[in-house]
Amino acid sequence: MKHTFDFRTLLLPLALLAAALFLPWTGLRPNRIALPEFHMLAAQHQWLGGALLSVLAAVGFFRPRWLWLPASFALAGGFFLFGLLTRHDLLGQSEIARVSASTGFWLWMVGAGMALYVSSLALPSRRQLWAWLWVPVVVLLYLTHQLDSWSVLVEGRNEGERWLAELGQHFRLTLSALLVATLVGGPLAVWSSRNEKAAAFTLGLAGAFQTVPSLALLGLLIAPLSWLADHVPGLRAAGVSGIGTTPALVALTLYAMLPLLRNGVVALRGVDEGVLDAARGMGMTDTQRFWRVELPLALPVWLAGVRQAMVLLIGVTSVAALIGAGGLGVYIFKGLQGGATDLILLGAIPACLLAVLADVLLRALEQLLGTKLGRTT
């Protein structure tokens, strides 16, 4: 699809980038929980930033197809400059000193990211990947240890294997809940697509579960699961208990049901009746028609529900740490309790990246299936 570039869309990113030049980029603390001493950019960095903004504005106005180049430079350059500033701040400090990112850095990243998105609108579809060329540059900065002084990476190194274990637990909880919800929700969606009363009941029930706050739902599950573990032989031996993984898995599964059911019903009802009639005319049985015609045509739209459920679960899984289920939420709540922003980011940033990665991969799969099967979401 071809987009017409509107220079006015670049004004907000330019304003954010300009504001970032006059805000603190780093906060130096003598230890993890002490109050930070904020540091502004030096005058030469502000001048360089101003020159880059002028280039962005000029390229955006005269040559919008090349806007991705200065926008990528702004994003990758922001990381590079931040690495320089953190190393400079730590000179002569003790080992427990921390340098965290401050308002200026985050605002610069938001402005540069928005400028890059705007630049992608001016690129032909076959050159959209150019807008992602900043990624290998940032990876290279990380691999060459240019960002090692950032407090979040310092905390990550200190946590080491435990952080990897919590990341793996977060991933396992999310995938397990999605798998169970798909196995339960799939047949329910098929049933609901053929029966109006069933659709009203299942969608209403799944919607009701989503109105309950995640923390409250986890709390409500503790008592019944504890009772079951105490009174039903074998459940406790199987690992069922009122706290930990079991209530987290049940709550996450309930949360994933609505997008899976809703998209499943819409997808199955959206299959062209003419195609189904043609399948009947060829002598297919109901079972053959479902597996060979109906399900493949419904799959791209249904997969959109899987994507929405996956992104939702990655976020909600963080709350499960409060009942001992583990996951990246361990660091988020530990940071909140101790007033340590770095620990909060150590859990929040990977969770955000996981959600974005899952969304991109599943969206690409939807488009691929839609192209192959002639049906898009």
pLDDT digits (tens, 9 = 90+) for 259-280: 999 999 999 998 888 888 888 8
DSSP, residue by residue, 105-163:
HHHHHHHHHHHHHHHHHTS-GGGGGGGGTHHHHHHHHHHTTTTTTBHHHHHHHHHTHHH
**Sign of CA pseudo-dihedral 180, 181, 184, 190:** negative
> pLDDT value at position 373?
65
Domain ranges (residues) in the chain: 7-149, 157-373
Question: Does residue 241 surpass a pLDDT of 90?
Answer: no
DSSP, residue by residue, 204-227:
HHHHHHHHS-HHHHHHHHHHHHHH
Structure tokens, 267: 């997808």
> pLDDT value at position 89?
92
> pLDDT value at position 225?
87
Question: Does residue 213 surpass a pLDDT of 90?
Answer: no
pLDDT digits (tens, 9 = 90+) for 16-39: 999 999 999 999 988 877 888 999
Contact 75, 20 (CB under 8 A): no
The CATH architecture one would assign to domain 157-373 is: Orthogonal Bundle (1.10)
Q: Measure the CA–CA gap between 227 and 189, rounded to whole angstroms.
A: 31
Least Cα distance to 90 among 31, 48, 136 occurs for 31
Q: How confident is the model at residue 256 (pLDDT cuts 50, 70, 90)?
A: very high
For the chain, percent of residues with pLDDT exceeding 70: 98
pLDDT digits (tens, 9 = 90+) for 286-343: 888 888 888 888 888 888 999 999 999 999 999 888 888 889 999 999 888 877 888 8
> pLDDT value at position 2?
53
> pLDDT value at position 275?
85
> pLDDT value at position 354?
92
| Mean local confidence (pLDDT), 53-60 | 92
Q: Measure the CA–CA gap between 270 and 373, rounded to whole angstroms.
A: 14
| pTM of the entire predicted model | 0.80
